[in-house]
Structure 1
Amino acid sequence: MLIPKQILNLKMAKTTEISQWMTSQMRLDSGFGMALRWMTFTLLFLPGLVFAQKGKVLSAYSYEQAFYESHDCRELAKAIEAIEMALTHEQSSVWAKTWYYRGNIYFDVYISQDDECHGLSIEALDISYESYLKSMEYDEKERYVKEIEPKISVIANLYLQRGAKYFNVKNYEAALADFEKTIEVSRHFEKTDSIALYNAALSAEKLGNDSKSALYYEGLIDIGYNDPRIYHFLSEANLRMGDTTKSFQAITAGRKVYPNNPDLIIDELNYYLQKNETEKALKNLDDAISEMPSNAQLHYARGTLLDKMGDLERAKTAYEISLKLDPDHFGANYNLGALYFNKGVEQVGFANDFDESHNKEFKAAEQKALEYFKESLPYLEKANELDPHDRATMISLKNLYSRLGDNQGYKRISELLDN
């Protein structure tokens, strides 16, 4: 039986349309199924990823615990590798726990007495400190703060100890860096480590960084550090920078706090001497001597000042007291010898002022000059003995031997001067 073409065509068309619809439906079903499967895979994958990240953190912790038991540096190396891997992932890199464990691991590296373990990281102390700070930054619930803060306090001391070691071997740059780190860590607790400040100032001074040393000395003064030397050191630092005003301000500030400190009195004295303010300088000397009556240098300085002021009798007394306290004081010996020598020269001048009609007065002045020259001799010879290379002393002795008619002494000194 022949099927009419029109009906066949209709059926074929219909069949084709249905087939196309079924195909499209199959595609939709297939796509929907894939979407479902993809979503299921994603949901399964994400927890797996988080679990893997947690696994790295926990592995790091486990390796660290294994290290505690075995003291095997390989366990510590594995802990480092695991914790660093955890930090490469976006999620675990912002976990407080990750950074806390990292701080602990590197802390263990630094404090280890085993060279192999200690050598796992040359920056272990810095990394440990920075990791603890990061942990507290991410620790919104403050789960680790109580454990971290005592360790940060220990880290401050470790920086201080390492800085001291560097300082003792004259690695002042490394010492300064560690002392400054101690200061930084201490400020985390809103405290100032006075020892670190002091050592930082000394290290900066050794490096010739006077601006930084002055900054740290000022910091010590601000916290009321009880040591008068700080004012002296600050004054010296400012003086080296050419700031005489700030230098003197440091001295006067120190004198207010420590009015009887002899070193600060002398600092103030030196300032007045440089400014040629002799009366103020003399008062400072008297204050200093009242505090240190057995200090030969102070009596010598007083004699020098009185000598400069023309008060020769009081100057002579001051020199004599200085030499009584310290017979080997070069300056006091030389100055007292020079004082007598100058008096002798003055008498020679007086003698030369007399004419022949005043022969008696001439002889008296000449004799007086000779007495002064003789008094000068033992002091200048002692000064030459104490410092045989001082040319001023040798020239004075040459002139003195000439006036005393000591040809041997004159020849000996002349030869020394020529050589």
Structure 2
Amino acid sequence: MKKLVLGLALVSASFLANGQSIEDLTKNAQCESLENTLKPLLKSSEHPKRGIKASTWVKLSEAYANYTTACGADSASAIKAWDAIHKAKELDTDGKMADKIDEVMHGQLMYSAIVNQGVAHYNSGNLEKATEYFHIGYAVDPSDTLTSLYAGISSNELGDTEMAKKAFIHYIEKANGDDASAFYTLSNMAKAEGNIDEAIGWLQKGIDKSDNKDLRGELVNIYIQNDMLDKAIADLEELSANDPSNTNVKLNLGLLYDNQGNTAKAEEIYHDILKIDPTHYDANFSLAVLHFNEAVKVKKEVDAMDMKTYQEKGAEIEAKACAKFQDSKPFFEKCLESQPDSAEVKENLNNLNNVLAQCK
């Protein structure tokens, strides 16, 4: 897990004889004072009359949050602060404390208490506890991207798809987050559920936010996997226009046109790749195969002719087939230069040379 860092640590060069720094002594005194503040408030919360007042629970929540941020000795104190402010809200039936409750519930003190303890659990490897705190973190501050993103990531690591989905959707729609992993994960979840339209929708939202190349690549993959080749081609055309030197994008675009039977367009794109990288193996191989297959088609015309037709125009068409076979040879040879040990290329070149020998 990637370590999270939050908050500030103060280090002093001034140490007392017993090995404690001035800051340590100050902190110990502060924590003792906060503990003394908590004790009467806890008693008040258990009192028959004071315990049913919203104000009692507001004070207890603030005391727990202060204690958490200053000391952190009680690993559950932030949750206790969160539970206490919810108890205050429950008891505030007339709404007189509503503004104060909202201020505490969504304030910086509560956020610091919850998130710092979440980060501590995360860094110590306690993913379950950390996840619980991160989900509370974005309830404290709905605009916070850190807690909603990490709540999604950690929930997903734990295999809790529903909570991961909830956190990622909040991250995108409420916190306006743009990390590609959130869109990618939501798309994969939708795809796993068989909802291809939703999977495409999340990728498109991510692309609109950040124009991430990985998201664009995944979108093209989904289009291809689901026989939506026209959309895949449109996306790759746009990608290629934005990044004209990207030979991988061009190759995928050429292969799609090839698969659709648009060999003229495919050939144009393969040649564009060779202008960027003349030794590009896949582009050379694709051009070699393209010319070879076209030659085979022409040759089939000759093979299907009766004797009379062959005598009239067979030799002319056969010459065209041989020319096409010859066109494929330089590209196979370029492939062999790039990959001298390629058994595939050697076999194809051997077959081609046999065909060309017959042409002669």
TM-score by length of 1: 0.58
> Deviation of residue 72 (structure 1)?
6.6
Q: Which residue of 1 aligns with 2:245?
A: 294
Change over 3 Å in CA distance of 1:124–1:330 after alignment to 2: farther
Taking every aligned residue pair, what percent have the same amino acid on both sides? 20
The residue matched to 1:71 in structure 2 has which SS?
Answer: helix
Q: Does 1:313 align with 2:264?
A: yes
SS at match of 2:244: coil
Q: Give the one of 62, 72, 75 matched to 1:118.
A: 72
Aligned match for 1:245, one of 197, 200, 204: 197
Shift of 1:125: 0.9
1 CA distance for matches of 2:186 and 2:41? 47
Task: Return the alpha-carbon distance in structure 1 between the equivalents of residues 279 and 140 of structure 2.
Answer: 51
| Alignment-derived partner of residue 32 in structure 1 | none
Tell me: CA distance 1:242–1:326, structure 2 relative to 1, closer, same or farther (3 Å).
farther
- CA displacement at 1:338 relative to structure 2: 3.9
Measured at CA, do residues 206 and 318 of structure 1 come closer, stay the same or move farther in structure 2, by a change above 3 Å? Answer: farther
**Does residue 1:399 correspond to 2:350, yes or no?**
no
Q: How much does 1:184 deviate?
A: 2.3
Query: 2:288, 2:332 within 8 Å by CA — same for their partners in 1?
Result: yes
- d(CA) in 2 for partners of 1:232, 1:398: 41
> Mind listing any 5+ residue stretches in structure 1 that lack a counterpart?
1-66, 389-393, 407-419
Q: Secondary structure at the match of 1:118?
A: coil
Question: Are 2:284 and 2:332, in contact at CA under 8 Å, matched by a contact in 1?
Answer: no
- Name the CA distance, whole Å, in 1 between partners of 2:56 and 2:206: 50
Partner amino acid, structure 2, of 1:107: A
Shift of 1:227: 3.7
Query: What is residue 90 of structure 1 aligned with on the other side?
Result: 48
Q: Deviations over 1:139-196 (max 9, x none)?
A: 776499389628843222443455456567775544432221012223xxxx554443
Q: Gapped runs of 5+ residues in structure 2?
A: 1-24, 355-360
CA gap of 1:196–1:281, structure 2 versus 1, over 3 A, is: same
What residue in structure 2 maps to residue 198 of structure 1?
Answer: 149
CA RMSD of aligned residues (A): 4.7
Q: Secondary structure at the match of 1:310?
A: coil
Counterparts of 1:2-41 in structure 2 under 5 Å?
A: none
The question of whether the paired residues in 2 share the 8 Å contact of 1:100 and 1:132 is answered with: yes
Q: Deviations over 1:348-405 (max 9, x none)?
A: 76787899987898688557535523421322663x58xx8xxxxx552241253367
CA–CA distance in 1 between the matches of 2:102 and 2:315?
101
Q: Are the counterparts in 2 of residues 346 and 369 from structure 1 also a CA contact under 8 Å? A: no
Amino acid of the residue matched to residue 130 of structure 1?
A: D
Letter in 2 for 1:127: K
Q: Specify the alignment match of 2:328 in structure 1.
A: 372
Radius of gyration: which is bigger?
1
What does 1:145-184 correspond to in 2, within 5 Å? 145=100, 149=104, 152-163=107-118, 172-184=127-139
> How far has the Cα of 1:123 moved from its partner?
0.3
Provide the residue aligned with 2:80 in structure 1: 127
Structure-1 separation of matches of 2:122 and 2:278 = 39
Offset, 1:274 = 3.1
Pair 1:101–1:294, CA change in 2 (3 A): same
Equivalent positions of 1:65-84 (< 5 A) are 71=29, 80=38, 83-84=41-42
How many angstroms does 1:248 deviate by? Answer: 3.3
Matches of 1:260 and 1:70, distance apart in 2: 51
Q: Which residue of 2 aligns with 1:214?
A: 165
Following superposition of structure 1 onto structure 2, how do residues 92-107 of structure 1 map, counting pairs within 5 Å? Answer: 92-95=50-53, 98-107=56-65
Residue type of the partner of 2:192? R
